[in-house]
Amino acid sequence: MAKDWDRVSTHPDRGVSDRLADLVASGALQPDPAQKAMAARFDRLLGAVHAQRPARKSSALGWLFASRKPETAGAPKGLYIHGGVGRGKTMLMDMFFELSPIKRKRRAHFHEFMADVHDRIHKHRQKLKAGETKQADPVPPVAASLIEEARLLCFDEFSVTDIADAMILSRLFGELFQRGCILVATSNVEPDNLYKDGLNRGLFLPFVDLLKQHVEIMPLDSLTDYRLEKDSGLPVFRHPLGDEADMAMDAAWRRETAGKAVTAQTISFRGRRIAVPRAAGRVARFSFADLCERPLGAADYLEILAHYDTLFIDHVPLLGAEKRNETKRFINLVDTIYDHRARLFASAAAAPENLLVTRKGTEGFEFDRTVSRLIEIRSTEYLDDHEARYGET
């Protein structure tokens, strides 16, 4: 569809490199050769996006025939950027997203996107059951609706932990790429390590091959985790477990819920009920067992955060090999909290960097991101973001 490209010139005046240079010149960032090189790569993609125009015919009916051309023709390859946490991947991708001339674009956390996909599949199946459609396969119409809304997809911290997601990705993105989707993603792991040790991983591997065909794989090897430099040391993650941590959590709870009635609540979601042991206004309190030892997924955590913007989580244990499922849920939970800029108060058996006892498989890579995010959640910048989104608490 030509409408995305008709509104822009073929030569952007400023790019990601210019934005990065401005931040360095102002002193907001330190010079980083790896970030500079990645910014230049983003600018090349911006240039390709600006230059791409649908073929047109000179006749009066040219628009009709041009509109029937597949949008995959000449579609630029996207980018998949992997590297350690806090290296600037998200910052650079967000600059690119803002500068991209494509009108139909979407920037989302991957888990949130996939929750949307599964909702659309469910709705399509309901229509099939009601006789409102004869299309038995939900994937093509779901892909068509997604591409109609966004040709450029930007995913922050791309990771695959859910088998339902893993089994559908190859078919879904096969349809999306065929329709001209441009994918940009950041991740802690290179594509060959996605869904590592996952159940039925062989069925997932075609997606990795598909990804390599449609995106350029780029490492970002900055030596500094910039999130660590923002740590304000605010006491929102109490460790080790014990009476002192419990008393600190109770004191923070009283402060955050002052003057509000505290009750047990339930959230109805997809025909199920999620128990909320204690809640007051936009603040809710759970134990680790409530959230991570029960069969909850990213979609459930998203629904919880639709109701509450401050979570208390008591008694996060050490995460050994015997708690692999709980570890995966905890990673997803922290991702969701972070992406929605919700506040977190937690008591734990150890500091974030010491919680994961056994570093093995995908969880080892992904928990580095979890540690970095638990640290950044304590920063004054993060709290400023929370207040800007939700108001002062």
CATH number at residue 94: 3.40.50.300
Q: What is the pLDDT of residue 58?
A: 39
Task: Kindly report the length of the chain.
Answer: 393
The dihedral over CA atoms of 156, 93, 359, 198, expressed in degrees to the nearest 10, equals 50
Is residue 155 helix, strand or coil?
Answer: strand
116/210 same-domain check: yes
53 lies in the same domain as 130: yes
User: How high is the pLDDT of residue 139?
Assistant: 95
State whether 235 and 381 are in the same domain: yes
What does the alpha-carbon distance between residue 342 and residue 284 come to, in Å, rounded to a whole number?
Answer: 11
The reply to whether 90 and 233 lie within a common domain is no
pLDDT of amino acid 260? 85
Check which CATH number belongs to the domain holding 271 and give it. 3.40.50
The angle at the Cα of 377, spanning 359 to 227, to the nearest 5 degrees, equals 70
Which residues of the chain are modeled with pLDDT < 50? 1-11, 54-73, 231-233
Distance separating alpha carbons of residues 21 and 27, to the nearest angstrom: 10
Regarding whether 265 and 187 lie in a shared domain, the answer is no
Based on the fold, state whether residues 17 and 90 are members of the same structural domain. Answer: yes
pLDDT at 11: 45
Choose one of 175, 196, 218: the last residue of a domain.
Answer: 218
* 128, 136 Cβ separation under 8 angstroms: yes
Residues 143, 79 within the same domain: yes
Could you tell me which of 52, 67, 145 has the C-alpha nearest to residue 106? 145
Last residue of a domain, one of 161, 192, 218: 218
C-alpha 342/C-alpha 340 separation (Å) is 5
Q: Are residues 199 and 232 in the same domain?
A: no
**3-class DSSP state of 304:** helix
What's the pLDDT tens digit per position in 56-99? 333 444 434 444 444 444 689 999 999 877 788 989 999 999 99
Residues 199, 316, single domain; the answer is no
Q: Are 376 and 230 in contact (CB under 8 A)?
A: yes
Q: What is the mean pLDDT of the chain?
A: 85
Q: Show the CA angle centred on residue 252, arms to residues 247 and 257, nearest 5°.
A: 125
Q: Tell me how far the alpha carbon of residue 344 is from its chain's centroid.
A: 18
pLDDT at 12: 52
The residue out of 184, 218, 252 marking a domain boundary is 218
Residues 249 and 338 occupy one common structural domain: yes
State the residue range of the domain holding 300.
226-390
Q: Return the CA Rg of the chain.
A: 23
Number of folded domains that form the chain: 2
Judging by DSSP bridges, how do beta strands 272-280 and 263-269 pair with one another?
antiparallel
Tell me, yes or no, whether 192 and 248 share the same domain. no
Same domain, yes or no: 133 and 243:
no
Closest by CA to 374, choosing from 390, 359, 356, 387, is 356
